[in-house]
Amino acid sequence: MILLSIIGTGNYCEVTYRYGEKVATPGKYVIGALLEFLEVDNVLVAMTRDAADKHENELKNICDFEKIHIPDGRNENELWRIFNAIASKIPENSELVLDVTHGFRSLPMLMLAVTVYLQVAKNIKVKHILYGAFDAKDENGIAPVFELKPFIDIISWSFATDYFIKMGKANQLKTLTEQIQNRQYRDNTGYKPKGLKNLGNKLEGLSNALSSVRIMEALEIARLLPEELKSSKNDVEHIYDAKPLGALFDKISETFGSMIVPEEKEFEYEGLKAQAEI
């Protein structure tokens, strides 16, 4: 697993970081704390020349890392050079932890953009996106490390839902719901989802019926869709990773609501209108 971090030119103060139930040894750099929290194989640190002059030697006392030299990012050309410099260092099919705690102005946002790109271009798996919240210290002076990955997952959910609504393909939605439900049971997190995987299966079933113009099957699955969405609502409320799906329920219902008709009216006007929608 690779830890990708960025260091700016700030005057970092010693702080104690907490991640979940773990509390790290006090230090100036969040990288040291993250290495205590996670099992990491390689560390990459992006830094400008000024940042390297100020922090590189001290960072070497904490861990071995590979430096990614980046320009200051003062114009669009330099921003693209930063993008390419970081993207070129991440090997295909790798697992990535992204640390966005430090960095000048837009650089953390640019790193997020690189991450989204790499998921598609190099098939990387983003395990964590972490932010050491120095200004959110508690009464004991301990700063939390926030997990931001669920927010980037919104992008995956949005693409998957858009693909389903526009193209009628639900394979991406099925994969997401299946991964989350399986992870909840595998990690034994306490809450066991009841309907996520089933919803994904129903959406894929509707997708397959639509793509092959199996009209009666599509109508049958569409009738079940509102109940499946309702069953999954409780899962979404209890599982952070699934929350983006909840925000898309209304869009799914709105798009496919016109296909829902009682079985006894399939061959009446309402049913013919629903078939036209299909």
* 232-251 tens-digit pLDDT: 888 888 887 787 777 778 87
Nearest to 10 by CA among 32, 30, 33: 30
Angstrom distance (rounded) from CA 151 to CA 173: 17
Domains of the chain (ranges; CATH) run 2-147 (3.40.50.10640), 151-277 (no CATH)
pLDDT tens readout for residues 134-189: 888 788 888 999 988 877 777 777 788 788 777 778 888 888 888 888 888 887 66
Distance in Å from the first CA to the final CA of the chain:
45
| pLDDT value at residue 256 | 80
Contact 124, 92 (CB under 8 A): yes
For the question of whether the overall pTM of this predicted structure is more than 0.75, the answer is: no
Neighbour-count burial of 250, counting CB atoms closer than 10 A to its CB (0-12 exposed, 13-18 middle, 19+ buried): exposed
